[in-house]
A and B are shown apart, each in its own frame.
Chain A
Amino acid sequence: MRKIVAKGVVGIARLLAGGNVRRVGFTPDERQRIYFANHASHLDFVLVWAALPPRLRAMTRPVAAKDYWDHGFRRYLGVKVFNAVLIERTPTSESPSPIDILLDGLGDRHSLIIFPEGTRGDGSTIAPFKSGLYRLGKARPDVELIPAYINNVNRILPKGEFVPVPMLASVSFGEPMHVGDDEDKSAFLARARNAILELRQW
C-alpha cells in the first residue's frame, strides 16, 4: 500500500513538474549519501526523491520539520510513505540534539535529503546554510555529500499557497563533496552553498 501511495505521489509530482533530472559528475548507486538542496517549496523533497532511481528511493529518507509533518495525513505521507526523519525546528533542552537524530536516521544503510537553509525561501536566492550539514559531514566522513539544485519548484507551490500548478522543474545533482580535514565550518558551508549555486547554470 505504501509503495502504491509513493508511486502515486511520484506520478503527481511528474505530472506537475515533468521528470527533468541532470547529473553533473554524480552517479547514483547504493552508497550512503547526504543530498543537500536549496529549499523553496514543500514539494522539494518529493522532487529530489523522485529524481533518484526507484531502487535508491527506499533507502533515502527526507529530513522534515516535526511541527509540520507530525499530524494526520501528512504524518502518514511523511513517516510511513517516505520514512522521513522528523526534527524539531525549535529544540528544547530535554529533546535529543537534532544532529543525533539525523545520525541515528542515517544509520549504516540509509541516505538523507536535507535542506541546510533551514526554511523555505522565495526561490530567488539561497539563504546562508545552517551548521548541521558541516556537523554531519564531520561525524560521518565516509558518507558523500551531494549538492542538488532544484529549479522552478517555487513556482509550482510557492510559500503560502495550498494548491500546486503545473510548471516544468528540474533537479540537478553535482559532484560529491566531503568536509576537508582542516576546513572550518564557515568555509565549508560557503563551499557547499556555492556548489548548489554553480549547478544553477546547468
Chain B
Amino acid sequence: MVNMIRDRQTLMLFGGILALLVVATIVGQLIKLRKRHSVDNTVVDNLNARIRAWWVMSVVFALSLLTGGIGSVILFAALSFFALREFITLTPTRPADHSALFWVFFIITPLQYYLVFAQWYGFFSVLIPVYGFLFVPSRIAISGDSNAFLERSSKIQWGLMVCVYCVSHVPALLMLEIPGYFGKNARLLFFLVVIVQLSDVLQYVWGKLLGKHKIAPVISPSKTWEGFIGGVLSATLIGTSLWWATPFTVWQTMGMAFVITVMGFLGGLTMSAIKRDAGVKDWGSAIQGHGGVLDRIDSICFAGPIFFHLTRYFFT
C-alpha cells in the first residue's frame, strides 16, 4: 500500500480522478445556483446526487485498489451479490427455486470469487458456464415444479452469468501475468473501470447536449446516436491519454479503450431491454441518483470479460 502511494503514476491516476470530481462538483453547484428559479430542478438535483455518489464510489474503489488484490476481490464480490439480488428480485421465481437460489447466492458466488483470489484460472473460467449452468436446472427439477421451467432456469442462469461471472472478470485482471508489468495489474483494473464509467457519463452529457436521433427508443429513450458517438470518441481519447499506465502501446491503448466503450454501451442497452421488459426504470435504489447497483455496473458486465480476454490473449 505504501509503495503504491509513493508511486508517481498511481498518484497521477488518482489525482486525475480527484480533479475530475472537484470540477464536476463545482459545475454541479454552479448549475444549481443558476437554475434556482426554473422548473427543472429535479434534473439538477439528480445531477448533484449523482456527483455526490461518484465521490463515495471513487473513494471505495480507490481504497480497494490500494489494498492490492484482496480489496478489489471483496469489492467486486459485494457488487456481484447486490447486483444479483436486484436481478433476482425482478425475476419471477417460484418457491421451488428457493434451494437453487440459495446455492447461487451462498455457494457459487463466493466460490467464483475465491477462485479469483486463488488465481485458479482453469476452474474460474468454467465454474459458472459449465457447472453452474448444469446445476441450476437440475436443482430446480429436483424440486419438482415444471411451471415455466425453462424460463425460470434460464433467468437464474442469466443472472449468474451477468452479475457474477462477467463482473468477476474485473478483479480477475489481477491474475494476468503480463511480461514487464509485474505488480502493476491494479492499474488495468483502474483503466477499465474509469473508461467504462467515463464513457457512460460522457454519453449522457453528449446526449443531453446534442442528442436527436434515438438508437432504440423503446428500450432506452435517453440513448442517442449523438450521445453514443460523442461519448465513445471522447472516452476513447481520454483512455488513450492513459497509455503510460498500461502495458499497451498508444495505438493498442486506443483500440482497447474503443472496445471497452462500445462493449459498455452494449451492456447498458441490453440491461435496459431487460428493465423495460420487467416494466421498471431502475434495478433498485441502492445508490443515490443512480438507481441500483446493476444500473451502475451494467456496462462493466459486458466490457469486463472482453477486456480481460483481449489482454490475456494478446499480452500474456
Contacts and interface: CB of A to CB of B under 8 A. Distances in A.
Choose among B88, B98, B284, B286 the residue with the greatest number of A CB atoms under 10 Å from its CB.
B98
A98 B49 CA distance: 49
A163 B105 CA distance: 12
19 contacts: A18-B284, A122-B95, A155-B89, A158-B98, A161-B95, A161-B98, A163-B102, A163-B106, A165-B88, A165-B98, A165-B102, A166-B81, A166-B84, A166-B88, A166-B105, A167-B88, A167-B89, A168-B86, A168-B284
A190 B89 CA distance: 30
A97 interface: no
Nearest to B104: A165
9 closest residue pairs by CB, A with B:
A168-B89, A166-B85, A165-B101, A158-B95, A167-B89, A165-B102, A161-B98, A163-B102, A166-B105
Choose among B88, B89, B102 the residue with the greatest number of A CB atoms under 10 Å from its CB.
B89
Contacts of B286: 18
Interface string A20-64: 100000000000000000000000000000000000000000000
Contacts of A168: 85-86, 89, 284
A152 B102 contact: no
B285 interface: yes
Q: Give the bracket for the number of chain A residues in contact with chain B.
A: 10 to 19
Choose among A20, A161, A166 the residue with the greatest number of B CB atoms under 10 Å from its CB.
A166
B53 to A, nearest CB: 16
B93 interface: yes
Given A163-B102, A165-B101, A18 B85 contact: yes
B155 to A, nearest CB: 14
B98 A152 contact: no
Interface of A: 18, 20, 122, 152, 155, 158, 161, 163, 165-168
Interface in B262-292: 284-286
Interface string B77-102: 00001001110110001010010011
Interface string B106-132: 100000000000000000000000000
Nearest to A169: B89
A42 to B, nearest CB: 14
A152 B102 CA distance: 16
A69 to B, nearest CB: 23
A192 B238 CA distance: 59
A152 B95 contact: no
A167 B95 contact: no
B112 to A, nearest CB: 16
